[in-house]
Structure 1
Amino acid sequence: MGDDGVGLAAPQVGVNVRLMVFNPMGRDKPGNESILVNPEIVEQLGGKELGEEGCLSFPRIYGDVERSRQINVKALDATGQPVKLTLTDPWVARIFQHEFDHLQGVLFHDRMKPSVLETVRPELVALEEAFLAEHPAAKVQRLAPAKGAKGFGAPKK
């Protein structure tokens, strides 16, 4: 997977298809990648847990996100054959859900609790500012910080 990632969804690299690839071992065990096309979560099992996540699309930004511990999934494999998976390892289930969210247009910080989001807001704003500096015509829609937010990212008075 390069860049110490364990998963990647096609939209992250500008390809508008419902495809993801993941390898829970990352670069430690290349060749163990799972490729899933048109994946769906069929059932969420085993309760939920909070865990730290990062994303290749948002370098060096980490925060806790709540995810299902176990899930049942259906998809097509790389050859177009239907597959059904029961992801009982919470780490693997988390990776799948993170990449699946990309296919739904949801980003990991969209799933953070407001208090966690506020801890990463400065880094997100800095990425937006860097993007705007390179693409002056682009428009960025920013969400207002949580009430009571102070410091960088708080509304100016």
Structure 2
Amino acid sequence: MAVMTILKWPDPRLSVASAPLGRTSPVVAELADAMLETMYAAPGRGLAAPQVGVMARMFVMDMGWKDGPADPWVMIDPVVEWVSDGTAAGPEACLSLPGIEAEVTRPTELDVRWIGLDGETHRARLEGFEAICAQHEIDHLNGILTLDRVSQAARLDLVSAYFVPGTE
């Protein structure tokens, strides 16, 4: 598989909610492989299908590969079933917003249900960095970017830094 092109903001496709897949297939498995290859090459820890121009509710993530062995996850049609009351603020980067790191507050735990490449329904409670990454990628599936999770003033500061004159 070849590395795919990652869409960059302000591409309008990044602000559109994606459609459910409903099931897996060999084509979905090939897409997942290509997305993982793209994510590792970027190098990132998560990548949603809309970020590569595929408007489907699917994302890949791997929290461990930069510090240890690879442990890729593929989530098809993920649904958040519960979030904790506890929240934490921290810096988030995004492959579709290169060079931008925004301080985002998110729940520290969540329960998520998804379809795996095996066609089965899976559930997990995610905590810490895994929970943050999954929420970030699910935001992409809903057409929400990191810039949509910060105050208007912070957004203006981030956007002005993103569009430095002479670099377009």
Instruction: Determine helix, strand or coil for the equivalent of 2:103.
Output: strand
* Alignment counterpart, residue 4 of structure 1, candidates 13, 32, 43: 43
Instruction: Determine helix, strand or coil for the equivalent of 2:41.
Output: coil
* Alignment counterpart, residue 80 of structure 1, candidates 92, 100, 119: 119
1:75 is displaced (CA, Å) by 0.5
Q: List alignment gaps of at least 5 residues for structure 1.
A: 131-157
1:83 is displaced (CA, Å) by 0.3
* Alignment counterpart, residue 65 of structure 1, candidates 82, 104, 118: 104
Instruction: Determine helix, strand or coil for the equivalent of 2:79.
Output: strand
* Alignment counterpart, residue 94 of structure 1, candidates 132, 135, 138: 132
The structure with the largest alpha-carbon Rg is 1
Output the amino acid matched with 2:45.
V
Q: Deviations over 1:42-77 (max 9, x none)?
A: 010141111100100111110101111000000011
Q: How large is the Cα RMSD of the aligned pairs?
A: 1.8
CA distance in structure 1 between the partners assigned to 2:99 and 2:65 by the alignment: 17
1:121 is displaced (CA, Å) by 1.9
* Alignment counterpart, residue 155 of structure 2, candidates 93, 101, 117: 117
1:36 is displaced (CA, Å) by 0.5
* Alignment counterpart, residue 18 of structure 1, candidates 43, 51, 57: 57
Identical-pair percentage: 30
Structure number with the bigger relative contact order (C-alpha 8 A, sep ≥ 6) is: 2
* Alignment counterpart, residue 50 of structure 1, candidates 83, 89, 99: 89
How many residues align? The count is 128
More strand by share: 1
1:30 is displaced (CA, Å) by 5.0
CA distance in structure 1 between the partners assigned to 2:96 and 2:129 by the alignment: 19
Instruction: Determine helix, strand or coil for the equivalent of 1:59.
Output: coil
Q: List alignment gaps of at least 5 residues for structure 2.
A: 1-39
Q: Is the 8 A contact 2:64 2:70 kept in 1?
A: no
1:29–1:15 CA distance, 2 compared to 1 (3 A): farther
Q: TM-score normalized by structure 1?
A: 0.75
CA distance in structure 2 between the partners assigned to 1:13 and 1:27 by the alignment: 22
Output the amino acid matched with 1:122.
S
* Alignment counterpart, residue 36 of structure 1, candidates 75, 96, 100: 75
1:101 is displaced (CA, Å) by 0.3
Q: Is the 8 A contact 1:2 1:27 kept in 2?
A: no
